[in-house]
């Protein structure tokens, strides 16, 4: 690559895209990499501010920005992702399936710590739909040393830096609604319809539903009955606070679940419980949902459910990591997950 006066560049080969920006009208390349500059191109180049220009000069020790971006794509792209063609030195990845997007933060940060290399992504653990933009990557200069990109390869290792975990669609979901006031018909069960709506977002439904009074043994029996019916996930509503009549956490534990956490650094959602039943080689998640799930637009349930539905075994350390970003702003119009909640 060499620099020269634009007015003297007729017959030279452009070594990068030339972008024209007209506010509110366009932002696109007027000339692409590899274009042979003609006499009539000179006024156009000058109109986009190119008094001087870089043209191609072969150097075996250097890589063009598009070729470097292709290396970054190879290191980032995983299954269920699609890549765009290089444009102005940048390649983007998009989701090819619905699921949860994740990044290997340790390796990712090492690579982004290098000069002249940049990769930007969606937030960690963000639920996405097919077609959603996941990441963009490029190098800063027009050309970069091959040695630098080899260093990037070494830091990245053999596994892709990113993954998209698709949702599994064959979940059988059981729900236990606890509360004597609901069990005896004193008030309407308004919690279960909310759970139905949350599951519907992922193409699921409630396969089995049980009502229980506040007697712990009865709640336990209902949970065990759902397990015997082959449920893949159990959701318990009601009885999750610290009041003396709220005994659902104890019922879940006595039913045989190993509790990962009871309590979470998330508002709304502090009284959330997550555990697992180990049955015949399967880990069956059980969640105790606090009352906020019924009346708040988004809660910790919306953070955990997508990851569970990909088959991930969410652990206590994952829940504890929610604290930064775990405060919902209760916006008048909810845009979750395109917001700061969780991220």
- Residue 107 sits in a domain of what CATH number? 3.90.1170.30
Count of domains observed in the chain:
3
Instruction: State the pLDDT at residue 1.
Output: 74
* Inside any domain, residue 79: yes
Convert the pLDDT of each residue in 229-250 to its tens digit. 999 999 999 988 776 657 999 9
Supply the pLDDT for residue 244. Answer: 60
Which whole number is the average pLDDT over 279-303?
96
Question: How far apart are alpha carbons 51 and 64 in whole angstroms?
Answer: 22
The verdict on residue 230 lying in a domain is yes
Residues 274 and 200 in one domain: yes
**Does 221 share its domain with 303?**
yes
Instruction: Tell me the pLDDT band of 127, cut-offs 50, 70 and 90.
Output: very high
pLDDT at 13 over 90: no
What band does 261 get if pLDDT is binned at 50, 70 and 90?
A: very high
Q: What is the mean pLDDT of residues 306-314?
A: 98
List the one residue out of 288, 282, 297 whose CA is nearest residue 329: 297
Q: In angstroms, rounded to a whole number, what is the distance separating the alpha carbons of residues 115 and 106?
A: 17
Asked whether residue 55 carries a pLDDT value surpassing 90, the answer given is no
Percent of the chain with pLDDT over 90: 77
| Token pair recorded at residue 79 | 């299954």
Give the domain extent around 135. 62-165
Same domain, 24 and 135: no
């Amino acid at each position: 690559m060499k620099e020269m006066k634009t007015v003297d560049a007729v017959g030279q080969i452009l070594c990068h895209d030339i972008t024209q920006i007209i506010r509110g009208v366009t932002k696109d390349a007027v000339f692409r990499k590899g274009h042979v500059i003609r006499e009539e191109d000179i006024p156009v180049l000058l109109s986009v501010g190119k008094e001087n220009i870089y043209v191609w000069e072969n150097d075996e020790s250097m890589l063009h920005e598009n070729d470097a971006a292709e290396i970054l794509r190879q290191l980032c792209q995983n299954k269920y992702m699609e890549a765009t063609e290089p444009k102005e030195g940048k390649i983007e990845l998009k989701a090819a399936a619905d699921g949860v997007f994740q990044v290997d933060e340790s390796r990712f940060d090492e690579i982004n710590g290098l000069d002249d290399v940049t990769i930007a992504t969606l937030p960690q653990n963000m639920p996405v739909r097919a077609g959603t933009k996941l990441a963009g990557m490029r190098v800063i200069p027009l050309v970069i040393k091959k040695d630098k990109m080899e260093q990037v390869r070494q830091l990245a290792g053999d596994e892709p830096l990113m993954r998209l975990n698709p949702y599994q669609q064959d979940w059988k979901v059981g729900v236990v609604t606890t509360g004597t006031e609901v069990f005896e018909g004193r008030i309407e069960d308004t919690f279960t319809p909310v759970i139905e709506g949350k599951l519907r977002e992922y193409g699921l439904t409630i396969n089995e539903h049980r009502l229980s009074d506040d007697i712990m043994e009865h709640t336990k029996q209902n949970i065990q009955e759902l397990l015997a019916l082959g449920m893949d996930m159990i959701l318990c509503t009601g009885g999750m606070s610290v009041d003396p009549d709220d005994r659902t956490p104890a019922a879940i534990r006595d039913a045989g679940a190993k509790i990962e956490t009871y309590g979470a650094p998330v508002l709304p959602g502090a009284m959330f419980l997550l555990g697992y039943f180990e049955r015949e080689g399967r880990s069956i998640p059980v969640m105790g949902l606090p009352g906020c799930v019924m009346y708040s637009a988004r809660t910790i349930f919306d953070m955990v459910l997508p990851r569970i539905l990909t088959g991930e075994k969410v652990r206590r350390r994952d829940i504890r990591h929610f604290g930064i970003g775990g405060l919902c702003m209760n916006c008048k119009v909810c845009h979750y997950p395109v917001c700061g909640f969780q991220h």
